[in-house]
Amino acid sequence: MPSPYRAIFAAPGAKGFSAAGFLGRMPMSMMGVGVVTMISQLTGRYGLAGALSATLALSMAVLGPQMSRLVDRHGQRRVLRPTALVSAGAVAGLLVCAQQGAPDWLLFVFAAGAGCVPGLGSMVRARWAALHRDAPRALHTAYAWESIVDEVCFILGPIVSIGLSTAWFPAAGPLLALVFLVTGILWFTAQRATEPVPAPREEHTPGSALRSPGLRVLVAALVATGVVFGAVDVVTVAFAEEEGHKAAASVVLAVFALGSCLAGAVFGLLHPTGPAARRWLLGFLTMAVSMIPLLLAGNLVLLAGALFVAGLSVAPTMVTTMGLVEQHVPRAKLTEGITWTTTGITVGVALGSSAAGWVVDSAGADAGYAVPAAAGASAAAIALLGYRRLRPAAERTGTPRPRGRGGSSANDDDRERHSLA
């Protein structure tokens, strides 16, 4: 392991909570596609399967930030364990009802209940932030590492879930995801030494972390980014089917994730300087340009190459986004702020999947890549328009920041600490 990565894991407990976070995050990539596979096998109704998967995703998008707000107030263990039991019970109910042919409305009730646990990705990143709060370079590497873990989850998860459900029995994929969920959260919350201490009650201000203008910009850009991800998944499957090699779609999409994974690994070794907002803007502009070759790919080999290049901008942009969240959200709301970024991507994926499916049905797979191209351009436009809100106040106005006691800005230390994050 390269030395910057070895250094972040030298901290006591780091290996344990990162490993538990990986296990607990696997259901994020397994559950939705597992539900689609299970329901389609049991009933042959792809419409119902897709609607249940969308219900699960939207439930996680709506409930995730609310659960994270409770985590910021009361701590990870006190919130994650009971909500994990609720989610696990709902997943179990969904599997049993699907197997027994229960009414559709009951399936939707359980699918909605299954989304009440916030993603462990935000919980893991909150632990890294607490562990390396005074070491911005180490925190930058830690965020890069977690981006790599995210990509590995989304490479392995669908393969394992679909493979089990098709080769063993229909509910096998979601059932394993349920086991990962319970095991991962119990293991993660058992590690009390690295759990961030909730901020004192007086530091908790009313309202959501979304009151921050900077966070709103970040989330808006990530909604458009999620549209890119959701559309690429759907259109690539359709494109591979038109080429007569539908099974190759998983390999092509894995190449997209591989590009992001490798870029994230390299980015974690670097120590970028200069304003993080400028790197963030450059990342979205690069992502938008990288969507254009997808419109020109005439076969699966060229498409795989184009997606690999497109993936190179993903992880570095996500890493920089996490650093900016920490700059623009109060520490007492950090977990909620990180969760809102995941929510933005989740909502975008749902929108992108629907839009891409409609375009493919209407005009074919080749035309479908216009959806991620348009979404990439939209993300770049949002980044350009919102860039000013992400810069420090003095940089926006061209005037010195107000000075606090001791001749320094009240926020100078934090901004300097995280300028490389």
| 266-286 mean pLDDT | 85
Which fold would CATH assign to domain 13-200? Answer: Growth Hormone; Chain: A; (1.20.1250)
Annotated domain spans of the chain: 13-200, 209-392+409-421
The separation between CA 239 and the C-alpha centre of its own chain, rounded to angstroms, equals 25
Cα distances (Å, whole numbers) of residue 102 to 96, 99, 266, 319, 416: 9, 8, 49, 43, 57
Q: ∠144-149-151 over CA atoms, to 5°?
A: 95
The residues near 193 (Cβ < 8 Å, ≥ 6 apart) are: 12, 13
Pairwise CA distance, residues 22 & 19, whole Å: 5
Given this model, what pLDDT does residue 349 score?
80
pLDDT of residue 248: 76
User: 209-392+409-421: same fold as 13-200?
Assistant: yes
Which of the pair, 405 or 289, is modelled with greater confidence? 289
The closest of 389, 385, 351 to 371, measured between CA atoms, is 351
Q: Is the pLDDT of residue 338 over 90?
A: no
The mean per-residue pLDDT over the stretch 316-333 comes to 82
- Which of the two residues, 362 and 90, has the higher pLDDT score? 90
Q: How does pLDDT run across 155-201, given as a tens digit for each residue?
A: 777 778 877 887 888 888 889 999 999 999 999 999 988 888 876 66
pLDDT at 20: 92
| Residue 73: per-residue pLDDT | 82
Q: What's the rounded Cα separation, in Å, for the pair 75 and 175?
A: 28
Stretch 289-307: mean pLDDT: 91
CA–CA distance from 413 to each of 278, 404, 410, 417, 419 (Å)?
20, 12, 8, 6, 10
Alpha-helical (H) ranges within 75-131 are 76-100, 104-113, 120-131
Task: Report the mean per-residue pLDDT for the chain.
Answer: 81
Q: Which of 12-26, 33-47, 404-418 has the lowest mean pLDDT?
A: 404-418
How does pLDDT run across 384-407, given as a tens digit for each residue?
998 888 765 434 434 334 433 333
Q: Please, which pLDDT band fits residue 118 given cuts at 50, 70 and 90?
A: low
Identify the H or E element spanning 236.
Answer: helix 213-242
What's the rounded Cα separation, in Å, for the pair 212 and 148? 28
- Regarding predicted confidence, which is higher, 404 or 86? 86
Asked if residues 344 and 222 have their Cβ atoms less than 8 Å apart, the reply is yes
Average pLDDT over residues 73-79: 86
In the predicted model, what is the mean pLDDT of residues 98-102? 88
- 3-state DSSP call for residue 135? coil
Q: Concatenate the DSSP letters of all residues of 38-72 into one string.
A: HHHHHH--HHHHHHHHHHHHHHHHHHHHHHHHHHH
* Cα–Cα dist 75/67, whole Å: 11
In this predicted model, what pLDDT tens digit does every residue of 238-249 receive, in sequence order? 888 788 876 677
Domain 209-392+409-421 in CATH 1.20.1250.20? The answer is yes
Q: 104 near 52, Cβ under 8 Å? A: no
pLDDT of residue 204: 55
- Report, as an integer, the average pLDDT of 364-386: 91
Cβ burial 400-415 (10 Å sphere, 16+ → b, else e) = ebeeeeeeebeebeee
